[in-house]
Amino acid sequence: MTKAWFGTIILTASAVAYSTAGFFTRFIHVDAWTLLFWRGVFAGLFIAGVIAWQERGKVWQAWRAIGRDGLVIALCSALATICFLNALRLSAVADVMVIDAMIPFLTAGIAWLVIGEREDKTTLLATLVAVAGVGVMAGPAIAGGRWLGDLLALAMALLMSTVLVLIRRKRFVNMLPAVGLSAFLCAAFVLPFAQPLSVDAGDLGLLALFGTTQFGMGLLLLALGTPLVSATRGALLGVLQTPLGTLWVWLAFSETPAVATLIGGGLVLAAVVADIALHARAMGSTPQAVGSL
């Protein structure tokens, strides 16, 4: 198995983890700020535990190794989460979905400018189809968005694109401390608006599960997988979380999605699967093995 294949699998798993957000939020009955606070705390603790196990006595060296890029990654990731939440509050969800799907294109541009990484036409075409698919999903509700919310969504997209490119640029450095720090920063940023002590034991348990399996695992896999594939392909795989999130809610709560959602989600899945399949041929003869990681 090549590094690129391994990275594709890991980033697909990351998208699956992120896609469970809607599922968890249906069960947790706390306000959004409190939810974000505890999610960030538990995700940060989860990743810190992984780092402690992984480094085994060299934790401080791992934190120091992330350098300035790691601090920028942590800050951008935390701010992206805040921008995303407020974009959903101030704009139409459909608008935010479409702008979020533009991350692969933005990543391609930033990757070219910052690290000189040029994406191939296959992935760019797949990205275009994926964006069109999200557009179809969001089409019936896309009218009536507000410009401030859309600007925040665009800021979120730019911040996440920057995160992906910087992780890719520092692909030989363990960036788990950076994404773990981003989770703690997110919790710190929302603390003035949250009420963490108002949560009962039942919701706290669900928040712990939410923070570790959705946010923590999503960040963990993102940090591990992004160095192994191009930044743009990593972003394209992340778009999977949009149709998958709809699928989980459909299966768990019997909320039948609209026809447009099914068609658009199918386009996204087809685009990602086609990109993976077409690259499989190119990667088939690549001698770069995972064992060299």
The full DSSP string for 87-145 is: HHHHS-HHHHHHHHHTHHHHHHHHHHHHH-PPPPHHHHHHHHHHHHHHHHHHGGG-TT-
Residues 70/163, Cβ–Cβ less than 8 Å: no
Tell me the whole-structure pTM to 2 decimals.
Answer: 0.85
**C-alpha distances in angstroms, 267 versus 65, 95, 239, 259, 291?**
40, 18, 11, 12, 34
Among candidate residues 191, 202, 222, the one with its CA nearest the CA of residue 41? 191
Q: What is the pLDDT of residue 285?
A: 46
Checking phi first, is residue 56 left (phi over 0); if not, alpha (psi -120 to 50) or beta?
left
Name residues of the chain where pLDDT drops below 50: 285-293
Residue where the block lists tokens 């704009």: 91
Q: Which two three-digit tokens encode residue 93?
A: 């969800």
Give just the sign of the alpha carbon dihedral 195, 201, 204, 206: negative
CB neighbour list of residue 199: distance below 8 Å, 6 or more residues apart: 30, 34, 38, 207
Q: What is the pLDDT of residue 283?
A: 58
Which tens digit of pLDDT belongs to each residue from 20-76?
A: 887 788 888 888 899 999 999 999 999 999 999 988 878 889 999 999 999 999 999
Residue 2 pairs with which residues in a beta bridge? 289
Alpha helix (H) ranges present in the chain?
A: 3-18, 21-25, 32-55, 59-65, 67-90, 93-101, 103-115, 121-138, 147-169, 176-190, 201-209, 217-225, 231-238, 241-253, 259-283
Residues 39/189, Cβ–Cβ less than 8 Å: no
Residue 289 pairs with which residues in a beta bridge? 2
Q: What is the pLDDT of residue 289?
A: 40
Residue where the block lists tokens 């087809």: 270
